Structure 1
Amino acid sequence: MSAVASAIPATAHAVRPTPGITVTERLAGQSALLPAGVLALLVSLHRAVEPERQARLAARRQRQAFFDGGGLPDFRADTAAIREGDWQVAPIPAALSDRRVEITGPTDPKMVINALNSGAKVFMADFEDSTSPTWRNLLAGQQALSAAVRGDLDYTAPNGKHYTLRPYEEQAVLIVRPRGWHLDEKHVRVDGQPIAGGLFDAAVFAFHNARALMRKQRGPYFYLPKLQSMEEAALWETALSHIEGMLGLPHGQIKVTVLIETLPAVFEMDEILHALKERIVGLNCGRWDYIFSYLKTFRRHRDKVLPERGQVTMTQPFLKAYSELLIQTCHKRGAHAMGGMAAQIPINHDAAANEQAMARVRADKLREVTAGHDGTWVAHPALIPVARAIFDEHMPAPNQHNVLRRDVQVTRDDLIAPCTGTITRAGFENNVEVCVRYMAAWLDGNGCVPIHNLMEDAATAEISRSQLWQWLHAGNQHLDDGTAIDFALLDASLRALPARLGDTSALPGGTRIAQAIALLDELSHADELAEFLTLPAYRQID
């Protein structure tokens, strides 16, 4: 698939007009990805979903205002019957019965080939946290995935190395993560409004690949991100049912896994499963976004300021409660309880440091499998054998739905109690560096960036960014050496960063460092914490 192997060249390309929809960019190959049938599907889908999407986004803002005023999240009284009811989700397809190790990453051709060939059970191709949503990236990603489904994706690297797919039976199962409800696709407007980014991602992929995947009994499958309520899950049910109807697919053909990666959603896990019960196969502990959501939810609560991110591990009581409640909830309903991401990457130049990193991965995966998780995530192919060995030893069956965790008794207060710890100068400066380096790469079109031997994506960058804002705005916060955390400290760190980084020519997005520093400075000084850093940053790409 040589057309995918390089970036799509910009060129004028005529697209036959479809009433109600405008595509504001033109790239070579675009008309093949967005034929009249796709455009008609997008128009119909937008009109069916957009009013309720806007209502759900408004509900998010109202709920956050409640939290900002001192309110606390809790289990819903009006849905107690769902939590207490005796019901199960639909049977899980055979292709998804064993998900012990999943790898995630962006949708560029090399990543897609390597991930599908990696030996993982599942590859989550990510249009959300791992992809900078330039128009070029989005179209190239859709092209690469369609070629992979057809079986003819290949890639030749600049050094001449050629990559091809293994036979289909040896590949990981493909699951696509579309963007969340909060993100627009500004290049596609229906009736003058931007379409939801997630609808664009899911509809284009389904249009081109659903029938081929259905014939192979592999989907289509999606991972749904950043839901905050059962109503948002029900909106995805509406959207996916609409796609199925428009494409002539059987109802429930599209299967989904939902990431529980917001604090409000942990109080509605039963309800989310119920809203999608004819197509959902599991929930996932999206730990990094979950920590970010905790910070964002309690941004005005001075009694819930967390220590630096390196100290906020899954062994902390509030995160342990979240993980174990997810396992209990899923297994009660016949769904998978997926574990979280190991963000480490191999440290090839330092054997001792590499062994320490791998030891942390093994300990994390041992915690997950012995707690009852049915699988886990890794960010790098080298971690697959490490994680698989742990799960193979402790989970000989395809999953462990039989582990019902009736011992788990989790209260509202267990889920919201902050952990204690410190903020070191190194931790503060690391947050600054990660934010700047990640945003620079993102602005330059790269959404997945190795920094200090961790694979950083939007979720981990969001932790750093929101922690900085909260430390600065909560008042009376200090480093462990007694230094006040104030804007003078931030300004000094930002000024010193270019010198600390040195020659940035080899860094992803190195030419955008100054732009990223200005953006972090603006976001950190703002009186309100921006909902997502990708929202203001999106205005600066394309």
Structure 2
Amino acid sequence: MQVTYEVLRGHSGVQLAPIQNPKFREVLTHEAVHFVVELARAYDTRRQHLLWARQRRQAELDNGTMLDFLKETESIRNREWRVPPAPADLQDRRVEITGPAGDRKMVINALNSGAKVFMADFEDANSPTWANSLMGQLNLRDAIRGNITYISPEGKHYELAANPATLIVRPRGWHMVEKHVLVDGQPVPASLFDFGLYFFHNAKELRERGSGPYFYLPKLESHREARLWNDVFTFAEHYLSVPVGTIRATVLIETIPAAFEMDEILYELGPHATGLNCGRWDYIFSYIKKHRTRPEAVLPDRSLVTMTTDMMRNYSKLAIKTCHKRGAHAIGGMAAQIPIKNDAVANQNALTKVRVDKEREATDGHDGTWVAHPGLVPVAMEVFDRMMPQPNQLDKQLDDFQITNFDLLTPPNGPITEAGVRTNVRVGLEYIEAWLQGSGAVPINNLMEDAATAEISRAQLWQWVRHQSQTTDTGSCITTSYVRRILDEELLQLRAHFGEDYRSRLFEAAATLLWDLITQESFEDFLTTRGYQLLV
């Protein structure tokens, strides 16, 4: 959508989109915006060079190069070194809950959920509308100061309980921009916008309260990208005159290139490193994206690419081994299941899946795990309390675990079914529609879907069409016409389900975007960058 701007007085070369809610000006102060501008001018050129490096690497992969551990950084992997000890409130991270920062009620519920950590998300679980991005900053500012409240339309009152979860913030990835702020005619990097506003307003307050500015870093593809974050952090600490190392960061290993640079990523973050997380859904998406041209890399139905497959289990255990060797925490992946209120049997089955998944993580040596719903916190907590009575498992070394690049790159076998195709189409439609409406975390088929799972859905459809895959149950060739038929059938079902309300929804726009992503010759790196052009 076209954005109009107003020149920010006192800031040469800076323009802001109109601010509808006067409360937003409390976070978009002149001083805070100046800090974001300083970050953008200092680091955006390097960010763009790193994005170009991603494209060069992709071209090499398209031409047959295989990912492998880097020879030029072998000395870092072989050398003895450790990250600094975690702060007191990050020593025990056994259960972490995630949710969008822009949803005030959800922020309160997550902080009160009983989880040790709440990851407030400006990225995959957050549709980055201008209002969501600014409301997220307001919500977190108020939560840190203990005065966040919310009254529902039904009149129910929500407020922060005693002993809330430790707060970690996930800014958007290096690939995103914040189009509502222009610096010298260019949109600011969304990562620096999210990080900058949060750090500027809250770093000193957090320190006074015995905590600190903690971050999750998404979608890194190389240790050089971690080095950029380290330089940003150091700059920010000097800017606000807080000690270097005040900021602590956990990196999501959710791209396949990053899996080969775990040691190097921790090393480059230096005094700011604290751990790695197995972002399993984006990792599957990244595997498809990076091997887009290779028919031997075609994956089966999404439901079959679980953490028990060799490819995924090896990646998870490598994260544990790497982290514990360096004194860093290894956090497990997301349980996407959500409680099912009206079906006791289905609900019990869902909880059993979560319990088994968390038992595997705790047994392997993870120091904590992720859930997407407060109702799953007790399940995950029971598992880690039972299997990890100590605050973490840093003493659990996996010295005998040895792998090669093929152990991370060999895909699991399994069928591609018509139900799998249909599920991907339906998830793509429903998620993109909700995202365009401003919701980034969407319950679909009793699973909490976010941008990462939607990326898997559209990427698999593109991959199956590109490589002329066949369904094993019906023997159908997955062509564009085959997918179009299913897409039209799913749209008809949605139209019937919503009735007159269908007209107020954005399913037609979602279908157009999804169809473009599936059928275009080149693979779109992120659906969110395309979708962002449509957001108001």
**TM-score bracket for the superposition, by shorter chain length:** over 0.9
**Partners in 1 of 2:498 and 2:206 — Cα distance?**
43
**Partners in 2 of 1:391 and 1:118 — Cα distance?**
16
Aligned pair partner of 2:150 in 148, 152, 155 = 155
Aligned pair partner of 2:480 in 476, 482, 487 = 487
Task: Say if 2:201 is the partner of 1:208.
Answer: yes
CA-to-aligned-CA distance 1:418-455 (integer Å, 9 cap, x gap): 11001111111000000010000000101010000000
**Partners in 1 of 2:401 and 2:314 — Cα distance?**
8
Which residue of structure 2 lines up, in the alignment, with residue 188 of structure 1?
181
CA-to-aligned-CA distance 1:71-111 (integer Å, 9 cap, x gap): 11110000000000000001110110000000000011101
Q: Given that residues 440 and 508 in structure 1 are in contact (C-alpha distance below 8 angstroms), is that contact kept between their aligned partners in structure 2? A: no
**Partners in 2 of 1:81 and 1:310 — Cα distance?**
39
Which residue of structure 2 lines up, in the alignment, with residue 122 of structure 1?
117
Which residue of structure 1 lines up, in the alignment, with residue 523 of structure 2?
529
SS at match of 1:338: strand
**Partners in 1 of 2:106 and 2:461 — Cα distance?**
32
CA-to-aligned-CA distance 1:343-373 (integer Å, 9 cap, x gap): 1001111111111111100100000000000
Task: Tell me the TM-score normalized by structure 2.
Answer: 0.97
Aligned pair partner of 1:432 in 417, 425, 442 = 425
RMSD of aligned residue pairs (Cα, Å): 1.7
Cα drift, residue 12 of structure 1 = 11
**Partners in 2 of 1:317 and 1:510 — Cα distance?**
45
Which residue of structure 2 lines up, in the alignment, with residue 3 of structure 1?
none
- The letter for the 2-side match of 1:516 is A
Aligned pair partner of 1:319 in 290, 312, 320 = 312
Q: Which runs of 5+ in 1 are unaligned?
A: 1-10
Cα drift, residue 506 of structure 1 = 10
SS at match of 2:333: strand
Task: Tell me the TM-score normalized by structure 1.
Answer: 0.96
**Partners in 2 of 1:292 and 1:14 — Cα distance?**
39
SS at match of 1:276: helix
**Partners in 1 of 2:252 and 2:509 — Cα distance?**
31
Cα drift, residue 410 of structure 1 = 1.2
The verdict on how the C-alpha distance between 1:511 and 1:380 changes in structure 2, with shifts beyond 3 A counting, is: same
Which residue of structure 2 lines up, in the alignment, with residue 348 of structure 1?
341
Q: Given that residues 126 and 440 in structure 2 are in contact (C-alpha distance below 8 angstroms), is that contact kept between their aligned partners in structure 1? A: yes
Q: Given that residues 441 and 510 in structure 1 are in contact (C-alpha distance below 8 angstroms), is that contact kept between their aligned partners in structure 2? A: no
Task: Say if 2:490 is the partner of 1:475.
Answer: no
Cα drift, residue 476 of structure 1 = 4.3
Aligned pair partner of 1:292 in 262, 268, 285 = 285
Q: Given that residues 256 and 287 in structure 2 are in contact (C-alpha distance below 8 angstroms), is that contact kept between their aligned partners in structure 1? A: yes
**Partners in 2 of 1:191 and 1:540 — Cα distance?**
23
Cα drift, residue 509 of structure 1 = 10
- The letter for the 2-side match of 1:214 is R
CA-to-aligned-CA distance 1:463-514 (integer Å, 9 cap, x gap): 0010000000012433432111111111101111122223236999960011
Which structure 2 residues correspond to residues 137-152 of structure 1 after superposition, within 5 A?
Answer: 137-152=132-147
**Partners in 1 of 2:116 and 2:502 — Cα distance?**
29
**Partners in 2 of 1:440 and 1:394 — Cα distance?**
41
Aligned pair partner of 1:85 in 79, 83, 88 = 79
Task: Say if 2:409 is the partner of 1:416.
Answer: yes
The verdict on how the C-alpha distance between 1:294 and 1:415 changes in structure 2, with shifts beyond 3 A counting, is: same
- The letter for the 2-side match of 1:96 is L
Which residue of structure 2 lines up, in the alignment, with residue 267 of structure 1?
260
CA-to-aligned-CA distance 1:135-154 (integer Å, 9 cap, x gap): 01111111111011111110
| Matched-pair identity in % | 52
**Partners in 2 of 1:507 and 1:312 — Cα distance?**
35
Aligned pair partner of 1:24 in 17, 39, 45 = 17
Q: Given that residues 150 and 158 in structure 2 are in contact (C-alpha distance below 8 angstroms), is that contact kept between their aligned partners in structure 1? A: yes
The verdict on how the C-alpha distance between 1:395 and 1:343 changes in structure 2, with shifts beyond 3 A counting, is: same
The verdict on how the C-alpha distance between 1:90 and 1:521 changes in structure 2, with shifts beyond 3 A counting, is: same
The verdict on how the C-alpha distance between 1:13 and 1:474 changes in structure 2, with shifts beyond 3 A counting, is: closer
**Partners in 2 of 1:413 and 1:71 — Cα distance?**
13
Q: Given that residues 25 and 135 in structure 1 are in contact (C-alpha distance below 8 angstroms), is that contact kept between their aligned partners in structure 2? A: no
Which residue of structure 1 lines up, in the alignment, with residue 48 of structure 2?
54
Aligned pair partner of 1:390 in 383, 391, 407 = 383
- The letter for the 2-side match of 1:39 is V
Q: Given that residues 345 and 383 in structure 1 are in contact (C-alpha distance below 8 angstroms), is that contact kept between their aligned partners in structure 2? A: yes
**Partners in 1 of 2:374 and 2:534 — Cα distance?**
32
**Partners in 2 of 1:506 and 1:101 — Cα distance?**
42
